[in-house]
Chain A
Amino acid sequence: MIRFLVSRRLPLFPILLAFIGLYAGSPSTNAQEQRVLAPHRPVDPTDPPSKVLQLPATTRSMVGGFWMIDAYRKASISLKNGLETSSIAVRPALYLSNGMRYELDSLTVSPAGISVISINDSLAKLGIAPWGILSGYVEMEYSWAWDPLCVTVTTIDATHSTIFTSGLQPSAVATASLSLEAPRVVNGLNTVDGVWWKATGNVTGFVALSNASVKAVDAKITVVSDSNSPVGDVDVHLSPHGTKVVDLKELVPLPKGATGGLRIEYAGASNAVLITGGLEDDSSGYSANIPLRSFAMPAQSQPVDETYTELGLMTGAADPMLLFPVGTTFTPYSILRNVGDSLVTVTPTFYWMIDGAPRSAHLPSFKLASLSSLSLDLPSLLLSAGLGTFQGSVNLALKAQGPPGSLLLAGGSVDQNNNYVFQVFPRGVQESVAKSISYWSTGNGDDTMVTVWNPADEPQNYTFTLLFDGGHYRVPLHLEARASRMFNISDIIHGQIPDADGEVIPAGVHEGSAKIAGTQADNEHILVAMDASTYNVRKATCSYYCISCDGSVYAYVDTGNPFPFVAGSTSQFYLHENWNTGVGTYTNYATWSSSSTNIATVNATNGSGTGVSGGTTTFTASLTDAVYNSHYCGYNSVSCPALGFVQGTGSENVKPQITAVSPNWGQVGTSVPVTITGKGFGTAGTVSFSGTGITVTYGARNDSSITATFTIAPSTTVGFQNVTVTNSGQASGPANFQVSPAIATPVNFHMVSQSNLNDGSLFFTYAWSSSTGNQADLSACKVGEQVYYPAYPTTPYVWPLPMVQQTANPTVLSYPGTYQGGPDTNGPPNSYASPPYSSSSFTATQRFYWSCTNYNGGATQTLYPDIIIARNIFKDVDGYWKFQIQKSGYLNKVKLPGQ
């Protein structure tokens, strides 16, 4: 059974104890502190691509990405295909503010590829003047089983140096099978909270509301002060698919440094309204996105500890490598709002690097009342941490203790003219697998700055991979405990240093995406915080793009190995996880259970199943792992990843098992008492045959045996029929039952013994008896074998090299029926070609037969169902080339000479 994962967000517990205490200096060696360890979880192996379960695609879409254009503003859509195993066809559409929908040209995004669509150019192509004042939102349609895209829309005004970015989220209509992030409901209304701040006295703000539904929606925007006192409110009526941009005029008279909150409320469908907000000062070129908390966090009876980081906050003179104008200095800022219902205690900690060594300073905690806002005085805090004259970047970690998801954050750095604004995306710190940057650019004056921080108290190794059209480039990253690294992607490109695979990035490459992962595999668990922003010194703009985390999309339990799963035997089961990238992994290290232990049991910790009785049970396996969340692109502080419960189930059929049918033959026209022994028959197991003519009268039946009388009609065809036992709808594997004529014939041909010979042969002994019980009655009969090789009837068969052997095809041998049996040697070739060896294989079919001159003109009759003999030459795990032969479940192998 396939089950989509439910993204049940876990609190950011793993980092819980990382920041207890107050200390400055080296982050190591504090006996009072509990160390934060890097994950050391074994890496789950990867499924071969052919074994990755493919779910049926459905038409789905993502919506959002508020855009606005005019004579100055240009908007573009950036797409990243999160699938690494498949391209995806996308049908983009624009909704204008009046609700009109315009479909753009379809496009196909290559595996792990990116694509950028100019909204201005697209509208011009549709005959809509792109210099008009237009706004709206974006819809991306595609056919896939989940939402594999990461899409952001950027609106840039190079003249006024303002830039706004908005992400897309899964459409509520198309993703009913997923648990969408929904706003919390307060007083019966969907409620989204935000935070604003005035970096300059001229900062104004706006909130853009888009109605993604087909019904009109009424919404209300309320602006509040830092202490949650009402400042003003606006009622907004949204037509279907319409967009309205509401200016926050209430902010105009407020002074520089003021902060406060926003609340947007609307009735109706929870995901109907898409909300984006921005702050801007055209006179200075200041712009920033308004953070919004548009989803509800799970209720917790006890306060939890969560930690968020704001990476790469710049302080002091700009790094010369960033090429800002001489004299540019940056000041970091951090705005907090408690959007929860209870008090939150916040503990800030700075982390920075000096001479390649990590340093840290814990700062005093403070409390933030419900719905109140605060602008941290970071310059003063830096001064108190001894960083008053520090020039460079620091990482700010904020531990919040209170109801989960209470803290809404905005952070960044701004220059002394409020022109260059590096807004950073506060991110939760939690164990993850690979994380991706959806877009980077080094073209047209752009560059992308990446900051990576190791939050653990032990070193970690990562692989940072730049993905671009036509290739990839891997950068190994070693970060000591609590150390961070900041680098520009242009420096990597300009370096032209071959990576471990010998790859370099062609000089003509100016855009792509990137991924950070462990060194072993993308699904290796790591602890890392990463941020990236693409800035342009000339335009004085800085934009963020989506940082997403790989995660499981769905999981299932397989059908076990060996298959089929039979009563009285064990099979190993695995939980398979399919990731958003299209890759599959499997593990048996999960918590296992069986719905019907009378059918099968399963080891609770390793997935080893034992069949009990015929029937069907459901195995369930669950573990905590990264769960894919396609909301990562929205400007919501969604913890990335969302660790959650990955749970898969499998409907497991347990087959009854026949170990013997005695006797295993009967003459036509007779009734034969038969006992079938085995396991899993239940108390009402039924016997059936592959042919006609045999009826069954049941005697005693229990789970391990069935006694019955087989009545064989005179017209029953002589030969073999398969006997099966069915219990609760599950049929056993077949056993043989021989129907013999009403004269003396060889019957009950069976294997007596088996052994392996040193020369690599399989050695069997077989025996048969007479249907009359007297072997002498078989004087008119012969027993023999026919062995058919490939390409029959071409003879002789020349065995494939390096096996040197020829055999008659078929090989036919026969003996008087009065004999009772004999050995059968299935051997290796007489010799081998000289090394070097290579792989080869073939199979032969062995058919034992009987013939009696007094039956059917002496024609050959099947004495035993065909047996396959398989031979092959292969290189064994010990490195030696070997001959191997397999027959009837037995195997022998021998090392080839000359090695």
Chain B
Amino acid sequence: MKKMLAVALILVAGSLFAAELEVGAKAPAFSLVNAVDGKTIDMKPDDGFTKVVIFTCNQCPYAQAFEPRIIEIVNKWNGKGVRFYAIDPNDETRYPEESLAGMKKRAEEKGYPLPYLKDADSSVAKAYGARVTPHVFVVDGGGIVRYRGYVDDQADPAKRQTTALTDALGALTNGRDVANASTRAFGCSIKWKT
């Protein structure tokens, strides 16, 4: 009985603190509701497109600071063989701003050019091993993670030294390897649904 309990505890801990997906790992598929129009969007990892999965949210000031940059990047790469998915994994019961209605409001106010999906039970964030908002994963057309980490090293364009996400997209869309494939995502901790 004790052994069973110990195994159960390990499994629970494992599900709460899943490791960040490694570069080279197979990306999990997901099927989530877009807060903007209520439609379900399926992300199929091996769909042939480069995909950018961005864990973000409404109430984190650091995620908000990156919002204009994310919009700029999406506008630049949309229609060029890249698909974008913004995902809010935060618990809306403790943080009401993170509800579907709150997400729709923000997406419309800011003119999001990408779907804003609700990860209502935080399971997709756990599957990717996302820790913070914003936290980015780039998946190639075959479903393999090719970049993980931050958008840029700094939210302030004047201080920026690394444009890791756009560098990764530039490499992948030109058939090259990503040179800086893993960076350290800073941000607000994900408010897990418990």
Q: Tell me, yes or no, whether A binds B.
A: no
A residues with CB within 8 A of B:
none
Q: Which residues of B contact A (CB under 8 A)?
A: none
